[in-house]
């Protein structure tokens, strides 16, 4: 078996962190790494103990949700809270950082950003990163290693099976198809 690359490994961590997001508009995860070791992770969501967007909706002002702390900031704040230095570290983030996160990343001393998706990339943020010598690189996720669409695929297969049943496919054949689908979405040893 071939092991996944470090970039895929850390980007996969960020994808998992994004699943904890409480933002309804965009789920983002960020992982801070030094010397091939995870030192912090964050996702976008409300302040600890606060109301979450998934509970009461986003609080949008001037086109931005002011309730949410971005994943990058949460990861950096986690380092600050626990006294972990970010100088010279790298960040893996699911989406290209916004302008404010670019500034926060620069100030934290992070030297390189890896991101999976472009998202409203700020030309001024890019200019600031370049001026500060912070590198950034797009890392395409290898979906053979991590699947971010499992729920959609499960729904699609379920609806196909329902359509086959409605069209009169024999129950034994449907039973076999359901068993195969269950094997695909269940981890059994």
Kindly list the catalytic residues.
Answer: 72
Kindly compute the dihedral angle of the four CA atoms of residues 72, 152, 7, 119, in this order, to the nearest 10 degrees: -40
| Residue 106 φ/ψ, nearest 5 degrees | -60, -50
CB contact at 8 A, 136 and 128? no
């Amino acid at each position: 078996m071939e092991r996944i690359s470090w970039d895929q490994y850390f980007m996969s961590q960020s994808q998992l962190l994004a699943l904890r997001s409480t933002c309804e508009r965009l789920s983002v995860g960020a992982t801070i790494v030094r010397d091939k070791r995870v030192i912090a992770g964050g996702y976008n969501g409300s302040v600890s103990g606060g109301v979450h967007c998934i509970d009461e909706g986003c609080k949008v002002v001037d086109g931005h949700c002011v309730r949410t702390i971005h994943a990058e900031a949460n990861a950096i704040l986690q380092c600050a809270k626990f006294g972990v230095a970010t100088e010279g570290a790298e960040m893996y983030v699911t989406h290209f950082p916004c302008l404010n996160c670019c500034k926060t990343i620069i100030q934290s001393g992070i030297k390189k950003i890896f991101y999976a998706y472009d998202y409203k990339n700020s030309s001024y943020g890019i200019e600031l990163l370049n001026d500060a010598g912070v590198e950034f690189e797009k890392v395409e996720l290898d979906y053979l290693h991590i699947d971010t669409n499992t729920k959609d695929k499960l729904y699609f297969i379920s609806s196909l099976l329902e359509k086959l049943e409605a069209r009169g496919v024999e129950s034994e054949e449907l039973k076999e198809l359901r068993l195969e689908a269950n094997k695909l979405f269940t981890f059994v040893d």
